[in-house]
Amino acid sequence: MARILIVDDSLVMRKVLGKIVTAQGHIIAGEAQSGREAVSEYKKLQPDVVTMDLAMPDCDGQQAISEILALYPEARVIVVSARQEKGTILDALERGARHFIPKPFSKKRVESVIDNVLQQDIDNEKRAALLKSLKEAYGLENKQAEGKTKVSARVLIVDDSAVARKSLRAIITDLGHEVVGEAENGSQAFVEYMKVKPDVVTMDLTMQGLGGAEATSKIIAADPKAKIVVISAMETRLAIIDALERGARHFIIKPIKPDKVALVIDNILHQEFDLATHLQRVRRLKEMDSASSGSTGIIKMTLPPYRISAQDNRLVHIIITDSITETSLQTLSQEIEEYLGDSIRILLDFGTMPYLSEAIVLGFGNIIQKIEERNGLVKAISNNERFAQSIIELKTETFNYLGNIIKVY
């Protein structure tokens, strides 16, 4: 039996983890919702194990791990995070974390990792050798030296979310590239492209006004050599093939991960490219996709997973479609951050959607709780009585926040 400190800025996640560890026979020594609070609680409680989220306000998980291990070298810290890049995992281990659990996690995974950490003996020499071999295997051993000779690109960022642009700017500059401009819709993207002539464009698809697909076509028509990377929450093959057919070089699914951005930008900077050959390959891919799916040639347009419409930053209307997934829900949660503030009103509109999985209901509960913690007001509506009733009746592992507020119109 161990005394465990749970650190996560999400109340829902703390409750889920708490339920798992208590069922395993352990005791919840305490909880914290930020890195700074985690350090303070560790000093006070001296727990046997800490489960540590990484992305938190005030002081993030990485910094908290460093501070705790500096004071208590024997501390057993398990990272529990949705961030799964190789560099992030290695960074946490180098700071002293004993193990890493990716979100979303299973009960069995949490139980086995806690048992492993409680039973393991740490040999610092063996640990250092293991980390060195992992870095070599991941190609990160000489990352700093390689960065000096790496090709640097001038990048134009196009996204209607200020949060997404800020996050992408940080990733791109950390990779050693230069952000030469930003745009929040397709029309601005074209103007900025013609003005700054960047080496690479990162292009969101779902934007108000001129969308990313149309902007891609417009830029390629003006400059067939343009290097455009589409970055979108839309995960369908149709959306990917359409972007490539318009001349985009690559496609990244949100939420954005640094390792993926690094790989894609490096790839398109070094690839030999011929637009005519590229389009021929995409058309063959499209034909194969249509044949394998039994398509009659009629293209069914896929709606984006959500659309955010803000009215003077006081009312935010979010239309949800049945394209929503756990991955795009993470992106929605990040984008909502830019609207949160005192007295903000948010309307979640599910339209005629027929169904939501339990995991997505739990994700929406997490978003609703985040909004209410910032003194915001959330309402949810549906035009499908059966859908609304199914949400109300759904029994999740924690609280059904969505079921408490959804109404039928």
393 and 281 belong to one structural domain: no
Q: How far is CA 156 from the centre of its chain?
A: 21
21 and 128 belong to one structural domain: yes
Predicted model pTM: 0.53
Specify if 301 maps to a domain: no
187 and 278 belong to one structural domain: yes
**C-alpha to C-alpha distance for 160 and 208, rounded to whole angstroms:** 7
248 and 170 belong to one structural domain: yes
What does the block give as tokens for 358? Answer: 């339990």
* Domain extent for 94: 3-138
Closest Cα to residue 180, out of 190, 188, 169, 171? 169
**C-alpha to C-alpha distance for 347 and 163, rounded to whole angstroms:** 19
26 and 119 belong to one structural domain: yes
228 and 329 belong to one structural domain: no
What does the block give as tokens for 270? Answer: 């070094």
Asked if 316 and 346 count as a contact pair (C-beta separation under 8 A), the reply is yes
pLDDT tens for the chain, 409 residues long, are: 899 999 998 887 888 899 999 999 999 999 998 888 999 999 999 999 999 998 776 667 888 898 898 888 889 999 998 766 667 777 788 888 899 998 778 889 999 999 989 988 766 666 666 666 666 655 555 444 444 345 689 999 999 888 888 888 988 988 889 999 999 999 999 999 999 999 999 999 888 788 898 999 999 999 999 999 998 877 666 777 888 888 898 888 877 888 888 888 888 887 777 777 777 777 776 676 555 555 544 444 556 788 888 766 678 899 998 888 887 888 888 888 878 776 788 999 999 888 888 888 888 988 888 888 888 899 999 998 888 888 887 765 556 778 788 888 7
Helix, strand or coil, per DSSP, at residue 51: strand
Specify if 246 maps to a domain: yes
Q: Where residue 246 sits, what CATH number does that domain have?
A: 3.40.50.2300
101 and 16 belong to one structural domain: yes
**C-alpha to C-alpha distance for 252 and 264, rounded to whole angstroms:** 8
| Cβ burial 196-223 (10 Å sphere, 16+ → b, else e) | eebbbbbbbbbbeeebbbbbbbbbbeee
Closest Cα to residue 55, out of 156, 170, 157, 138? 170
Q: For 148-205, what is the HEC assignment?
A: HHCCCCEEEEECCCHHHHHHHHHHHHHCCCEEEEEECCHHHHHHHHHHHCCCEEEECC
Specify if 146 maps to a domain: no
Specify if 103 maps to a domain: yes
Final residue belonging to a domain, choices 258, 293, 328: 293
- pLDDT value of position 133: 66
Note the residue count of the chain.
Answer: 409
156 and 241 belong to one structural domain: yes
H-helix segments, 203-305: 212-222, 237-245, 258-270, 275-293
When divided into structural domains, the chain yields a total of: 3
183 and 111 belong to one structural domain: no
363 and 263 belong to one structural domain: no
Side chain identity, residue 266 = D
State the DSSP code for 75.
-
Final residue belonging to a domain, choices 83, 108, 138: 138
Final residue belonging to a domain, choices 293, 326, 361: 293
Specify if 268 maps to a domain: yes
- Give the contacts of 365 (CB within 8 A, at least 6 positions apart): 12, 396, 398, 399, 400, 401, 402
Query: Pseudo-torsion of CA 96, 101, 102, 108, nearest 10°?
Result: 180
174 and 227 belong to one structural domain: yes
Phi, psi of 290, deg, nearest 5:
-65, -40
Q: Where residue 376 sits, what CATH number does that domain have?
A: 3.30.750.24
What does the block give as tokens for 315? Answer: 């009312």
Specify if 254 maps to a domain: yes
Phi, psi of 103, deg, nearest 5:
-90, 145
199 and 314 belong to one structural domain: no
